[in-house]
Structure 1
Amino acid sequence: MFQAIKTPNHPFLFVFFCFLSLSLFAAEPGTRTKECSLLEPGVPAEYFLSRALREQVDGFQASQRRKPEDSKLSFERSVSFLDSYHLCLKEVGKDPSALSSETQSLNYLELGSLEKAWEWSESAIGKSPEVSKDLVLLQTRIRIRQGELAKASDVLESSLHKFPNDPDFLYLLGNINFERKLWNQSILYYTALSFVIERRDNHSKYKFLTAKALGELNYKLDYPKISIKRYNEYTTAYKNDMEVLFRLAQIYFVLGDFKHCRQYLEQIREKNPRDLDASHMLAEIYFMDARDLAPTYFATLKKEKKIPKEGIVFLLDKLVSGSKTGLEAKLRTYIQENPGRLSPRVALLELAEKEKLPDYEILSADTAQYAYEYRQYLTAEKILRRGLSQITAKENAFEEKSLYYEKISSCQEMLGLWNHSILSTREALRLTKETEKSLRLRFRLAYLYLQGNLKKESLSVSVLSETIKENPNPTHYYLRGLAYFQLSKYKESVSDFSEAIKLDPKNFNYYFYRATAFDKLKQFSDTESDLKTTISLNPNASNAMNYLGYLYAEKDMNPEEANKLLNQAVSLEPDNPAFQDSLGWVLYRKKDFNRALLHLNFAASLALERGFEDPVIYEHLGDVYLAKKDPVNALQFFKLSESKLKLESNKDLVAKIKKVQKEISE
């Protein structure tokens, strides 16, 4: 880990000390004065520095040759020569130089004297007119060796605005925060690094390491489709990484895409026939998703002697082969001992249907619920429809069917099948006679009308208006307020959010969304008040912090408060592109252009990682480059912003483009 941190440039040090050594004795003949009590007359103090540098180079070379004792002796001699050099400087009233301090720090780091290494690195920084990349990386190495990963991250972050596109810095920050399990922070830096690699250094040594890290991070942060994309980038170079192939199979399993899951598991079996995990997981997939092919696959496992004498694969093999004796009891016991497994529940449900077990309906509902919770929405829907077909014409059958349609609707919603979900909800609503269930289903129907790009906000308002007459619940007013907002009826939206607040004055969401409606009505004081109330009710309301901070920046108000709010929002959600954009904009307003560029580039890279490009971010980047008197880059981002606009043209942006084009042509 942390392989990005490099030692100083040894060839440079070698050449430097050679030239220095030659110059030490090139004095004019004649009387030689004594410059240091530790040296002969005429020998300058730099002699000790030269010897120290030579010993340090020898120390690194011995380390590379795997001669630790020789290496240690060389570093110790280098320390001794530098001590002598510093005594010579002290005799003439001088302090250690930046070079000698950094060299001594590096010696102590290699010797494991970490406190001394840090002290000398601080001395080097104090003597340096401008802190170099090597010195920052040296301090980072010291903190890592001390086990102080948070402090190591702070060292890098404090200088990142000076090296915003440096791959070593970004890789290290991604790596350190990954080790700290700060996934959102880690994905920020790895995404920025990927952005740099794609645009500046497509052959970077970090390219595939970054793709793998982003695959894992997006998986952890529940962006499975982005995770697949990143892992696939990695496997173009590392086709035999079994761990990644298995992770891809797991992701597809979570997505309910058993076809692709099977493909990756079969790849693993082909590349590594001894892999039992892949073989057994594939058995469960065949059982749940390809029942007609399952017997052939289980027969293959038998030939390969991969059917264990107990466990889930053993039980599934029994069911597939038609051996049902004692199977029900064994499956129930297995489920009790392993409640998180889906395949034994599916197996027991199949057995219950074939054997006409009395608790079939209960098992059907429970299995569908588990499938839903494990995001196997297609599997859950199949189980629910099978259960629906088994409901006989008995008392309360309509209510049971209504409940099944409601659950089917939830599965369709999670699959993004909005119209199907609406139809299922309508059917559930048609079948029920229960007042509470009817209200719940109407609320759900109104909610579904607002999803996707259905453009059915008016239908949502109509359903909610009828519901509110019967039950003026705060959530009903809240949802209708959102519907009115989407219809650009901001006064009505404010009115509904206000009604919701009267009924539930402690709900911070109501204040936040009323603030957004007030903002559309250009009522700044009301907007500000509601956003402050949101934050007071919920100290972690990052969306309100971002909104208020950005408004202050736009209006050139309360710059310090704006900066504080946006830094709080970013600390809570570092991988939120909107928050990074807002912070960059505030820094631009403060004329801190380098830091502004850093955060705006974070925003642009994060937006791309999430699959969209925001014209506002690109326009802001153009504004910063223009302020830095870089019209070429400014024009590039202004045009990029214009190309991403989906609605009507931005007149201000068009004027900027014309102005910059004229400036460049002149």
Structure 2
Amino acid sequence: MFQAIKTLNPPFLFVFFCFLSLSLFASEPGTRTKECSLLEPGVPAEFFLSRALREQVDGFQAAQRRKQDDSKLSFERSVSFLDSYHLCLSEVGKEPSILSSETQALNFLELGNLEKAWEWSEKAKTKSPDASKDLILLQTRIRIRQGELAKASEVLENSLHRFPNDPDFLYLLGNLNFERKLWNQSILYYTALSFVIERRDTHSKYKFLTAKALGELNYKLDHPKISIKRYLEYTGTYKNDMEVLFRLAQIYFVLGDFKNCRMYLEQIREKNPRDIDASHMLAEIYFMDSRETAALYFATLKKEKKIPKEGIVFLLNQLVSGSRAGLEPKLRSYIKENPARLSPRMALLELAETENLPDYELLNADTAQYAYEYRQYLTAEKILRKGLSKVESKETADEEKSLFYEKISTCQEMLGQWNHAVLSTKEAIGLTKETDKKFRLRFRLAYLYLQGNFKKESLSVSILSETIKENPTPTHLYLRGLAYFQLAKYKESVSDFSDAIKIDPKNFNYYFYRATAYDKLKQFSDTEKDLKTTISLNPNASNAMNYLGYLYAEKDINPEDANQLLNQAVSIEPDNPAYQDSLGWVLYRKKDFNRALLHLNFAASLALERGFEDPVIYEHLGDVYLAKKDPVNALQFFKLSESKLKSESNRDLVAKIKKLQKEISE
């Protein structure tokens, strides 16, 4: 999928090295009048350098024409000429130059002598504190050829602050981390590249490759809606990429959107009639979501001779066509061998309902659970409601019905149907007489009142307070602490988290959220102590690392600790915009403005990718540009920050805008 890091663009190299030989040859200082023992009197040492550059260009031209022997010979001659040139330099007490060292490194790379290539690239690097973009890319290529992808990434990352908007750097970093299966790191760089393309280089050669990569990465990282958006950008131009069309069908299946899933599968069938996978997946979709038309589709598959002689499509076709004899054991056997498939479970459940099999209730619960786990929440709810209708006919089935309503409410919650979830939970509470179940359901109801746009924190507190009197568990205290926090009752919040800690002192979440309440009460020492405890209990608590590091930066204390904490948080979650913003802010405080801009731009691009814009990130970007004496960009970001504020106006921000407007106008 991602081949750019393994192959070179020969036309680009040819043009580049022609340019290099012409433009940099004249830059060799001070040796033109010197003589060399290897040359006739009056012939400058640069004769060897010019021959070396010419041979190198010939080597690339021969490689373009696929004349490998001629190419190898030219690179070997270039090495020999450069050896002579360097001998001439040593005779007058001079060392190899940046140009000659880099040229020699490239020769050895093309000859496959990677150890020598790296050695000469390092010599070139020591000649200048700021390596050129071409030298950095050369070192990256050497590391890639060595199979050292982590070191290749390191080469690029160490210089990225000097080339923060360079598409080649960002693309290679996205690509390298994809190859290393570091999805979060890869999405960071591809998202930043997309940000650059949209604002600076709309005709970039990487535009559609980046869209496709972001589609795949967001799919892997469970951001299906963003994945769809990125894939649609790609398919707008590349309409016949079957791999991507099939992936879109898979994503819509995961989202429970069978209509769009069917649409893409039909597109694949239309564009590639021989495709079996799409045809068979579509058969399962029709069976699970459109039983009234499933028979017609299976008849079509039969005409196309795409019904296999065994497997799930064969079994579903039997059920749809009414050939149920001997089907039950076959389905049970298939499920045993393929426990992860949903369609055979649904088929067996349908068979159990029509044949009145004795284990229908068990199959109903089992199938609904699998549908839920596969995020088919609508399907799971439909299955549960069928099961509920069977139970309702029983006279003493309140506890069973209560369990059904509880499960239905979880499906509704996952669908974002908060009101329905609350009503189903209340039904479940009203039906049960079991004390433990009541406690569990009350907790769930209190939790639901804190979700979505309910703004019913007081109801949540009331329910939890009643439960805590009877059963003061740490989880109930913890949830009430969160409810009090949302009500801005921070003292009560601290009290509940403290009580939860007394019961369960090893739960790091309790310390973290108590720290947030202490912070609101301006009790810094308590906040700091709890955040440190969180990290000691959970070394991967990136949220606590970010929180504490940012607090240190805001208070301008413990700069090294702040830097270490935030770098650690970013290493755990590189694609978290809040963490990138915090790290950028610490670097700003350290007056490392270029690195600060790099991380703040990461934060802004990641936030946009997730569908929101943070005014704090934009204000921080404005502050950095202001420190870099760039008032125009500073004003742009300050205004952008002001436009994204959702609450009351930020007086400091308004003052900065007015001051800059006045300065610019003058």
Superposition TM-score, scaled by structure 2 size: 0.97
1:13, distance to aligned residue in structure 2 (A): 3.0
CA distances 1:166-210 after superposition (whole Å, capped 9, x unpaired): 000000000000000000000000000000000001110000000
Whichever residue aligns with residue 511 of structure 2, its letter is Y
1:1-25 Cα distance to aligned partner (Å, 9 max, x none): 215786481231343488799x999
Match of 2:269 in 1: 269
CA distance in 2, matches of 1:47, 1:466: 92
Listed as ranges, the matches of 1:410-559 within 5 Å are 410-559=410-559
Task: Tell me the CA shift for residue 453 of structure 1.
Answer: 1.2
1:488-515 C-alpha deviation (Å, 9 max, x unpaired): 1101000000000111111110000000
Separation of aligned partners in 2, 1:654 and 1:392: 63
Q: Please state if 1:153 is matched with 2:153.
A: yes
Q: Deviation per CA, 1:576-626, whole angstroms, max 9, x where unpaired?
A: 000000000000000000000000000000000011000000000000000
Q: How big is the shift at 1:394?
A: 3.5
AA partner of residue 609 (structure 2): E
Give the alignment of 1:186-335 within 5 angstroms: 186-335=186-335
Deviations 1:517-572 (A, max 9, x none): 00001111110111011111111110000000000000000001100100000000
Contact persistence 1:215–1:228 (CA under 8 A): yes
Q: Which residue does 2:339 correspond to in 1?
A: 339
> How far apart, in 1, do the equivalents of 2:624 and 2:23 lie?
40
Matched residues in 2 for 1:663 and 1:343: separation? 68
For 1:652, give the aligned amino acid: D
Once residues 511 and 329 of structure 1 are traced to their aligned partners in structure 2, the CA distance between those partners, rounded to angstroms, is: 53
Please say if residues 4 and 172 of structure 1, whose CA atoms lie closer than 8 Å, have aligned partners that are also in contact: no
1:47: which partner in 2?
47
- CA gap 1:651/1:16 in 2 versus in 1, 3 angstroms: closer
1:575 aligns with 2:582: no
Q: Deviations over 1:149-180 (max 9, x none)?
A: 00000000000000000000000000000000
Distance 1:289 1:337 in 2: 24
Amino acid at match of 1:162: R
Partner of 2:143: 143
Distance in 1 (alpha carbons) for counterparts of 2:205 and 2:122: 30
CA distance in 2, matches of 1:586, 1:333: 60
Q: Which amino acid aligns with 1:284?
A: E
Q: Is the 8 A contact 2:38 2:84 kept in 1?
A: yes
Task: Give 1:149's aligned amino acid.
Answer: L
2:399 is paired with a residue whose SS is: helix
Change (3 A) 1:47 1:24: farther
Structure 1 residues 276 and 556, CA gap change in structure 2 (3 angstroms)? same
1:557-568, aligned counterparts within 5 Å?
A: 557-568=557-568
Given the alignment of the two structures, is residue 10 of structure 1 paired with residue 17 of structure 2, yes or no?
yes
Work out the CA distance in 2 between the residues paired with 1:613 and 1:11: 45
**8 Å Cα contact 1:17/1:54 also seen in 2:** no
Contact residue 24 and residue 99 of structure 2 kept, 8 A: no
SS in 2 for 1:292: helix
Alpha-carbon distance in 1 for matches of 2:129, 2:467: 70
The residue number in structure 2 matching 1:168 is 168
Cα contact 1:17–1:53 (8 A) shared by 2:
no
Structure 2 CA distance for aligned equivalents of residues 508 and 318 of structure 1: 54
Q: Give the SS at the match of 2:611.
A: coil
TM-aligned CA deviation for residue 131 of structure 1: 1.1
Distance across 1 between alignment mates of 2:20 and 2:481: 69
The 1:359/1:629 distance shift into structure 2, 3 A limit, reads: same
- Give per-residue Cα distances to partners, 1:365-386, cap 9 Å, x unaligned: 1000010011110000000001
The code of the aligned residue for 1:588 comes to Y
Q: Is the 8 A contact 1:162 1:594 kept in 2?
A: yes
> Which amino acid is 1:235 matched to?
T
Task: Return the letter of the residue paired with 1:12.
Answer: F
Residue 184 (structure 1) aligned with residue 184 (structure 2)? yes
Instruction: Show the 5 A alignment for 1:40-189.
Output: 40-189=40-189
Structure 2 counterpart of 1:15, one-letter code: L
Q: Aligned residue for 1:617? A: 617
Q: Counterparts of 2:221 and 2:396 in 1: how far apart (Å)?
A: 43
Greater mean deviation of Cα atoms: 59-68 or 124-133: 124-133
TM-score by length of 1: 0.97
CA distance in 1, matches of 2:54, 2:23: 10
Counterpart of 1:644 in structure 2 is: 644
Confirm or deny: 8 A CA contact 1:490 1:521 kept in the other structure.
Answer: yes
Identity %: 84
Could you tell me how far 1:393 is from its partner in structure 2? 4.1
Q: Is the 8 A contact 2:443 2:476 kept in 1?
A: yes
| CA drift at 1:348 | 0.6
Aligned to 1:30: none
Tell me which amino acid in the other structure corresponds to 2:183: W
Residue 72 of structure 1 aligns with an amino acid whose one-letter code is: K
Aligned partners of 1:259 and 1:20: how far apart in 2? Answer: 65
Letter in 1 for 2:591: K
Quick one: structure 1 residues 521 and 20, their matched pair in 2 at CA, closer, same or farther if it must change by over 3 Å?
Answer: closer
Once the two structures are superposed, what CA deviation does each residue of 1:388-410 show, in whole Å capped at 9, x if it has no partner?
A: 00115446400000000000000
**Who is 2:627 aligned against?**
627
Is 1:55–1:77's contact at 8 Å kept on the other side of the alignment? Answer: yes
In 1: Cα distance, 2:546 partner to 2:233 partner:
34
Write the letter of the residue equivalent to 1:624: V
* Aligned amino acid, residue 50 of structure 2: S
Inter-partner Cα distance in structure 1 for 2:263 and 2:27? 64
Question: Take 2:78 and 2:539, find their aligned partners in 1: how far apart are those partners?
Answer: 54
Structure 1 residues 49-77: Cα deviation after superposition (integer angstroms, max 9, x where no partner): 01000000000111111111100000000
Q: 1-side partners of 2:483 and 2:598: how far apart? A: 37
Query: What does residue 31 of structure 1 align with?
Result: none
Corresponding residue number in structure 2 for 1:588: 588
CA RMSD after TM alignment: 1.5
CA contact (8 A) 1:53 1:103 kept: yes
**Contact 1:405 / 1:427 at 8 angstroms: preserved in 2?**
yes
Q: Within 2, Cα distance between the matches of 1:614 and 1:387?
A: 46
For 1:425 and 1:399, the matched residues in 2 are separated by: 13
Residue matched to 2:358: 358
Which residue number corresponds to residue 380 of structure 2? 380
Instruction: Count matched residues.
Output: 658
Q: Does the 8 Å CA contact 2:21/2:50 hold for their aligned counterparts? A: no
Contact 1:550 1:586 in 2 (8 A): yes
Q: Check conservation: 1:4, 1:171, Cα contact below 8 A.
A: no
Retained in 1: the 8 A contact 2:392–2:401? no
Confirm or deny: 8 A CA contact 2:413 2:421 kept in the other structure: yes
C-alpha separation in 1, matches of 2:185 and 2:625: 26
* In 1, Cα distance between equivalents of 2:638 and 2:24: 50
Q: Which amino acid aligns with 1:296?
A: L
Structure 1 Cα separation of the partners of residues 268 and 43 of structure 2 = 69
